Structure 1
Amino acid sequence: MEEELRKIPFECRRCWHVWEEDYVVRHVHSRRGDESLVWLQAGLPVPPPAPGAICPRCGGQQATTFPNGYLAHHPELIPPAGPVAPDPTPLLSPVPKPLY
């Protein structure tokens, strides 16, 4: 029986949050020689990752998956680990002030 660790990237199409989930994939062979895959998270069997996963940020069920290894080639999509500092640039209103 072989096992491999897979990091599956997801993106929420509701809030655009990007995250990865770790899965262990077990290759199981039957007595007849047929191979099947068992997907595990935290040691428990789970369904294979698929579109419709629940977003950990907004709870939406509109997530999609990326191909395996996609985020390694596109690190700009990975959100920062900590809170982002606010932009110090003041916001300028597009509405002119009244002249009176």
Structure 2
Amino acid sequence: MDFLTFDLTEVDDGVSSLEAMASTTSALHAAVMGEVQRVLDWAWRRYPASHGPVDDGMVWDHDLQVTIEEGGWHTVTLTLTGNARFVEEFTATFANGED
């Protein structure tokens, strides 16, 4: 990953959040969104029928926010929430560049 760096926050009951933010010029926005798509594609492939609120028993969920700020800067925030297994696999995959 060139733009997204995920920070892990461990929450109660084995649920954790992974959050990344990138703020770039409009010229680099497509590259950032490509990284977002790569992450989401991985999650959908690995856990295709288990996306939704983790509090309701699902394995993973996500929130994607995109804002355009003054001067044409694009800020992308991607938050993934998942159970311990999801977070372990995510970390192993993206830390090793296996995605």
Q: TM-score, normalised by structure 1?
A: 0.25
Higher Cα radius of gyration = 1
The higher-RCO structure (CA 8 Å, 6+ apart) is 2
Q: TM-score, normalised by structure 2?
A: 0.26
